[in-house]
Structure 1
């Protein structure tokens, strides 16, 4: 029988899928855990207690919400809380106020719209779509002064031109704010109200072509040149120089000037419909005279309207606003002109607007999301993923050089993707996988690779949302359909990929958003958490505490928050009584510079009194389901692998700790088809008891954790109350005992 001490000095792979628990040959087996619940794997190799949450307030009327980050500068960030038909602003943990009350903005988004809301930010403006109503433009004028309204689109986008020569339209005047538009047969419906319509003449021969040195003209005469129509503004002849301008009045000769009237395209917006053949319109762009003098079949309806629907996906790429996925054209992406998010009039110049319809490879299914990446704009559809870019990297994407290519055939869920390093991450159509689109050198194209394979059991309930926290550690936070919170610590350069479920003390997560902290040193994860507080269901706004500083020594240990829905108190004057009305009726713990106190039942009034006065206190909920557990401890044997053989642990197990106040260690014994056996808990820092946890220890603790014989043995470590706990190594002493 061989006695060995197999070290595990890294836990950066976090919790591994049960199907990998016997993969002794797998690289991540060496750095993985059987359970990593409520702990975060670290890029350096250790594993630490996940931060708790700080209670900030509740959503408006405890309603379901969407949390939208809005960042204007390093020291100017906030989270916008959208509840049905209202928006409020949270800035660095507090609601923005107006006149003594929380500032509110009326919005058009009801509960149905919020479930499909998509957005993109440009400077101090958010462009928002929901696939149900017109694109909205939300603008910040001040922290307590925002405006929202339909994004003004006066030049498209438009559908394909009408080809039915028997159905014509005719305007009553070339300009005006209430002009009659007549159809040759039934055409207009109530849903046309608000729609743009483009009119082009079929015959402009009624207007004479401009010719040089044409005499006997009078002011007001019309001439055509280069597709434009001009009116003689002064003079009595045409002159020798043709007019080529596209606005205003320009003098072409000493005594001759021409006024630009229109080009060959007019645009109107429908104001009202009086019958199937008659409507009133507002002329946005002058209607060509030929479309007034005679009807034309060359007209095009607006692509975004109540008739054909509105886009459900939005992104900004290379100074173009892109919208996609209307109900009538679910595979089309429309790009604005460069630098003008209101101009969707298609053209052929490099900076003109254009549209592209993505062809389906095996099926025609709708676009779900757009995501800007380092190598192009990614188009995520229900059944496959595409990307588009310019033919050459030195040019901007445009109507003549856009290249579209298939990246994968996975299919995307509606969850908004992220692209923290320029490579989009998205949740799969079945919601059970998280994928990243990366460039594959061997294939010379982007491909999708699965990031959740090593912990696919965590995604079995279905991922609903993903957000990215770049600092203090690069972490993707995911919300499951059950409301459970999941962390994926990811650093591709360091080959770190670790998963961990994070229970939040009896609540479940309803929404998430990330925004930079004041100063920009770290990112703050804001959560909307549903809790039962004294029999009442509430939706709390809570922020993940930034507790990573405990690892580096930047914080005192009493500043570390590992409690949930916590209130934080700091004062120069010691106090023993603290008000926590949001936790009235439930049991809490207090973490202070004098140690830990609790459990304490908060009375109806919401105030608790500690046994001693303190200057710093964190009071909140303790989640006792957090723990880590190693994979089966590997025992050495002279003749090879010991799987299936009995073994035991001896006293003297070493546990590496970093700035740890307290924790407990247990050993789990398992035999096939038998109930597991768990040893008695032992404290990792035996000199400290709950009321005097005032010092953090770094070093190697020794646990006397002998066991009986079992086929499988695992080490389990649990936290105590609000005490910091970081594990850097576990070195058991194990002996193989044969079959």
Structure 2
């Protein structure tokens, strides 16, 4: 009979596939496990009973949610909760809320008029009530349409918030203690969407809305927020939450989602948030149309109609940009004060071809000056271009074969009164204007707001339609990389002008210009994610792509942009990838297998390798969410469709790729991870059945340092902490909870009316859970050959542990036959309540039976802590 003491020195190999249990020739197999649930291994080799989950609150109406991490800096974070068409924000584990105030805004819904709002329009700008119940603001280009209201404050020194809905932006907002002041909310631009902006007034305050643009901006409503949780309208339905992708720059989170126009989530203060439409006013545009269909604008600026010569438009074109290029140039401005100028015209050619018309109308008293520039930036007064009366005159600069820009306006000190309508008209060259469709009339007519003035009202043959609209589709992914905003959808990717995240002007020259590329190979794929790693990585349904300039990794530019296929494994449509250092971890299109795309210095490009090679069952039945934790170690959390989680401990330097399951009494549906100092903050959203009802709770992982015994040991799920009577457990009504209090395990209790009827100095109460470990086949203790098919028996066990409760670990040959740790040591009784900082005792007997498949099974039960450093297994085998 052979005997052998087998050392299990590392519990960081994790699960191995049942199909590989017989591979005893692999060291990895020997130290792996067939089962290792609710144990948290470390790169050092030990494993601990996993930390518990602290209850922080429920989702809105217990609805399914997705949580977006907001990270301005490592110590300035928030969690953005998205449920069905609604957004809430959690800061420091508490929802942003509004106090109770009685302050009100008069006529803030604009049901039938603008009564209560003072008209402070400038020049020829107009503010008025608009059909549908809006405050309409139409500027002149140089003067603003403006309305203001003084609001009487009922409770000074108390935080107030204005809930504002903008039906069509932009609208400039100022909130101040004086008329026109911005002491409370500094001047800010509100885009189309919902806003909840907080401030603390010391007295009455003024709300001031204005718009300089010639197209109407529409304010839908403004009100002082009522008491309770801040809630903002969001566009995304429950069924589409898994499709949401995001990236963040400063105080703005940019959001893409298949089937929805892009959004911006904006923060102006920790309790001031907005959800608005993301819009670019200058592209990106599709290839220019030069066919028989023409588009005619009804006016060159303001709110107009676009008329097509044949059926062209659909209702899905609302929001579409149309760019029209017309021969000739015209620029107009309503001049109502000093330092106001028109946009420029570009004069070329020789002789009479350079002549343009200056037209002045209106009632005004001023000196109006024509200015020229050679670069459209530095302006000089024209020698004979000074006007003090209305009229229409021709101007010829005689500067043959030169490119000169002209504008007209009023210099400082030259304005007295009135409004002058100034126009520069030039028959040569061409002018390109842009308008956004605001309403659909029929297949040949739409209403539109002019963003960049047209040259004339004649039909345009040369026109372009923007890529993004309900008709053409919106991007499905977003990322910020190398100072550009990148959007991707179907088989195309767009990069903004450098350092200008909403600028896609394709007339921008040089390396800073925008990028617009198609993959152009294989099937038309949706791009499921973009990861800004060392290179920009694109995950499509059929392939993963690396975007590169050259092998020297110079910045991407319009002339230095290449797509290289990394792998044709393809990616899962509904799961975002995550970045780990310069690598990307992604879900293969099966939604089960996990791959890593990392940089290969030998090939100067990225390559893909499978991370689930040794445990392909890790992702079953499928993975629905991925998030990465970096502190205290790199752990990738994968939510599975059955409500469990599998956690991957990843350390390339130590060649650790360890997979362990996480289970709780409920279904995990979402993960959000925020940066921490020693340990990151890990949040799960868990669907539980409590007292017969379905609830969804946000629950936060306890720190490992809080799970070593002591006064408060936080190893229970959905737990709360407190002192005195154990109350406040309404979220666990009717459930059996375990209690750790005053440094000891106190037992299990049933919650009734939110309490358990016990009192302690300090307590932790929550749901119990178990951790189970089952070794691989232990084929040892034979003198020669293989022990796989020979009968073996484990007869002794020794353990080395830290922070272990005397009842914290059970052991045995299977989970139906488990023993507790010895009750006596050196003939003395072991204290059954005190957590031991260290455990290193002699081996003790193990009730194993003779079997060809002897196993070591271990079980730990919350809230009794245990950290296992090593096991020594004494084995005997028949030598036949």
TM over 0.5: yes
Report the alpha carbon displacement of residue 441 of structure 1 after superposing the two structures with TM: 3.7
Q: Is the 8 A contact 1:10 1:30 kept in 2?
A: no
1:324 aligns with 2:488: yes
Residues 223 and 667 (structure 1), Cα distance of their counterparts in 2 relative to 1, 3 Å cut: same
Listed one character per residue, the Cα deviations across residues 547-599 of structure 1 (whole Å, up to 9, x for unaligned) are 2565xxxx653433221111112x5xxx3544422212111111123411222
Report the alpha carbon displacement of residue 114 of structure 1 after superposing the two structures with TM: 2.3
Matches within 5 A, 1:73-88: 73-88=73-88
Equivalent position to 1:372, from 527, 532, 540: 532
- Secondary structure (helix, strand or coil) at the match of 1:200 reads strand
1:303 aligns with 2:467: yes
Residues 589 and 249 (structure 1), Cα distance of their counterparts in 2 relative to 1, 3 Å cut: same
**Distance in 1 separating the partners of 2:239 and 2:725:** 47
Residues 636 and 226 (structure 1), Cα distance of their counterparts in 2 relative to 1, 3 Å cut: farther
- Secondary structure (helix, strand or coil) at the match of 2:70 reads strand
**Distance in 2 separating the partners of 1:523 and 1:259:** 61
Equivalent position to 1:112, from 239, 258, 268: 239
- Greater fraction of residues in strand: 2
- Secondary structure (helix, strand or coil) at the match of 1:641 reads coil
- Secondary structure (helix, strand or coil) at the match of 2:715 reads coil
Give the aligned partner of residue 708 of structure 1.
849
Report the alpha carbon displacement of residue 111 of structure 1 after superposing the two structures with TM: 1.8
Q: Is the 8 A contact 2:712 2:743 kept in 1?
A: no
Equivalent position to 2:643, from 451, 472, 483: 483
Give the aligned partner of residue 182 of structure 1.
307
Matches within 5 A, 1:265-664: 265-289=432-456, 292=457, 294-325=458-489, 330-347=490-507, 348-361=509-522, 363-374=523-534, 376-391=535-550, 393=552, 395-413=554-572, 414-504=574-664, 506-517=665-676, 520-548=677-705, 557-569=710-722, 571=723, 575=724, 577-603=726-752, 605-610=753-758, 614-624=760-770, 626-651=771-796, 653-662=797-806, 663-664=808-809
1:719 aligns with 2:860: yes
Listed one character per residue, the Cα deviations across residues 442-463 of structure 1 (whole Å, up to 9, x for unaligned) are 4442111111222222212111
Q: Is the 8 A contact 1:592 1:618 kept in 2?
A: yes
Tell which deviates more after alignment, 50-59 or 450-459.
450-459
Q: Is the 8 A contact 1:14 1:40 kept in 2?
A: no
Matches within 5 A, 1:57-68: 57-68=57-68
Q: Is the 8 A contact 1:597 1:690 kept in 2?
A: no
Tell which deviates more after alignment, 276-285 or 688-697.
688-697
Listed one character per residue, the Cα deviations across residues 244-269 of structure 1 (whole Å, up to 9, x for unaligned) are 55977799xxxxx9979996422111
**Distance in 2 separating the partners of 1:214 and 1:577:** 90
**Distance in 1 separating the partners of 2:97 and 2:517:** 44
Residues 246 and 502 (structure 1), Cα distance of their counterparts in 2 relative to 1, 3 Å cut: farther
**Distance in 2 separating the partners of 1:521 and 1:451:** 27
Residues 214 and 722 (structure 1), Cα distance of their counterparts in 2 relative to 1, 3 Å cut: closer
Report the alpha carbon displacement of residue 27 of structure 1 after superposing the two structures with TM: 3.7
Listed one character per residue, the Cα deviations across residues 64-87 of structure 1 (whole Å, up to 9, x for unaligned) are 001110011222111111111211
Residues 248 and 493 (structure 1), Cα distance of their counterparts in 2 relative to 1, 3 Å cut: farther
TM-score between the two structures when normalised by the length of structure 1: 0.88
Listed one character per residue, the Cα deviations across residues 152-173 of structure 1 (whole Å, up to 9, x for unaligned) are 3100111121142x11112233
Listed one character per residue, the Cα deviations across residues 283-335 of structure 1 (whole Å, up to 9, x for unaligned) are 2112234xx3x42221111110122111111111111111111xxxx100111
Give the aligned partner of residue 211 of structure 1.
350
Give the aligned partner of residue 385 of structure 2.
234
Q: Is the 8 A contact 2:709 2:835 kept in 1?
A: no
- Secondary structure (helix, strand or coil) at the match of 2:650 reads strand
TM-score between the two structures when normalised by the length of structure 2: 0.74
- Secondary structure (helix, strand or coil) at the match of 2:239 reads helix
1:168 aligns with 2:294: yes
**Distance in 2 separating the partners of 1:248 and 1:489:** 66
Unpaired runs of 5+ residues, structure 1, are 252-256, 670-676
Tell which deviates more after alignment, 313-322 or 690-699.
690-699
**Distance in 2 separating the partners of 1:250 and 1:424:** 56
**Distance in 2 separating the partners of 1:51 and 1:216:** 80
1:126 aligns with 2:253: yes
**Distance in 1 separating the partners of 2:499 and 2:656:** 39
Residues 684 and 449 (structure 1), Cα distance of their counterparts in 2 relative to 1, 3 Å cut: farther
Residues 664 and 167 (structure 1), Cα distance of their counterparts in 2 relative to 1, 3 Å cut: same
Give the aligned partner of residue 877 of structure 2.
736
Tell which deviates more after alignment, 22-31 or 698-707.
698-707
Output the aligned Cα RMSD: 3.2
Equivalent position to 1:201, from 307, 315, 326: 326
Unpaired runs of 5+ residues, structure 2, are 100-226, 331-344, 361-369, 387-394, 412-421
